[in-house]
Amino acid sequence: MHPVSRGELFDPVFGAQQLSPLLSDQAWVTAMLDVEGALAHAAADAGVIPGEHAVAIAAAARTLADTLDPALLGVEGAAGGNPVIPLVKHLRAECAPVGVPGASVHTGATSQDVIDTALMLLAQRAGSVVAAQVTAAADAAASLASRFRDTPMAARTLGQQALPTTFGALAASWCSALDRAHHELARVLTTLPVQFGGAAGTLAALHPHGLDVADGLADELGLARQTVPWHTDRTRIGALASALGVAAGAVAKIATDVVLMAATELGEVAEDSPGGSSAMPHKRNPVAAVAARAAALRVPGLVATALTAMPHEFQRAAGAWHAEWETTTDLLRLTGGAAHRIAVCLSGLHVDGDAMRRNLDATGGALLAERVTGALAAHTDRARDLVTAACLAGRPLDADPAITEHLAPDRVRELLDPARYLGHAGDIVDRVLASRSTTPKEKSL
């Protein structure tokens, strides 16, 4: 039984249980053998090898996917710098007893063709799960936006209370960001191409059939056809890494908001199944948000690695290519895990409207000093100075003589009502939700 996890101890914490088997060493081996089997069929369709050889090679590849030990392949691949070299040897040995010559196996391909194409398969398979997790999180945010469309809360800028907003508007902004991230990730996933260029990117060993084999290989695997081989054009990897990084960033922003709002001093939200502490019985930690943030925080460094590795020299990179393999799979695992954990968090989030109102009242009306200043300006040119002085002195605005000289206390209290100064918060929620109800979702971007 081969290991099917990148990390059995920590994957559940960071939400990667569903993704990890799709990105494990065993998944890598299976994907590489899928490429070899599909290549055989594509070569046969182009008349390069006999059809019966292709059938035998594909069958042998399926057998090896169940029997070949990734650990053994890793040891054997160290000398050549990649696992494809020994994998092809094992595949040829498996095919030999049924009369398939070695020349029919891996025909016209180079190791990078197999690894890059296998990576595209892994990204496609795991990426669909990542995209679904992002959508699940967006759906949960949309539900919160709808339910709490008109629930006032303090908007905070630079860590300080600014003006009133609604929790619905905040959740709608979460939803919009996740939808945008999903759209870009989905777009990138649909364009993941086959890689097939042969030893130096010219497909010379298969001329004049090389391009036909490349297109056939793409069709066999359900990948996009390549325009040209991209051995050292790493824009595809960069685009995938960037899309995953943006998605992780959208998740991290939400997780950060939830962690701060769940703090004892604010108490505005709480997770459905909060975690405890090994030492402090009173703790109710927002664990899902914490785990989502932790997974997402690891992503930017990996995106930087992928982008840093983009300048591959000439027709084959020495090291930059190798740096992409685990980087890309880790990006998929961590982004998907973060999205899963934030979806869990938002799906059961408890929103305390009373705590939000209590926090709105914490400044004694200073939160709406802007509105009072605006009304006072119609009566005196010193409006800003008068309101500022009252706020600095800690005097309630509806009891400050310099203000009530011009505005009645009842009028000031009316101006200080957060529910009367929400701007377009509700409209923002409505616009986001309406855009999601129309297809395609790109309209909400």
Catalytic (active-site) positions:
277, 316
Residue at token pair 């190798």: 322
> What 3-state DSSP class applies to 237?
helix
E strand spans, 401-441? none
Residue 437 carries which DSSP code? Answer: H
Which residue type is seen at 367? Answer: L
Rounded Cα distance, 4 and 25, in Å: 7
Structure tokens at 324: 């992409």
Contact partners, residue 353, CB within 8 Å, separation at least 6: 148, 151, 167
Rounded Cα distance, 182 and 345, in Å: 18
Determine how β-strand 350-351 pairs with β-strand 269-270.
antiparallel
110: which strand partners?
none
Tell me how many helices (H) and strands (E) the chain has: 17, 4
| CB < 8 Å & 24+ apart, contacts of 63-69 | 63/94, 64/29, 64/33, 64/90, 64/91, 64/94, 65/29, 65/30, 65/33, 65/34, 68/29, 68/33, 69/2
Determine how β-strand 160-166 pairs with β-strand 152-157.
antiparallel
R_g of the chain computed on alpha carbons = 29
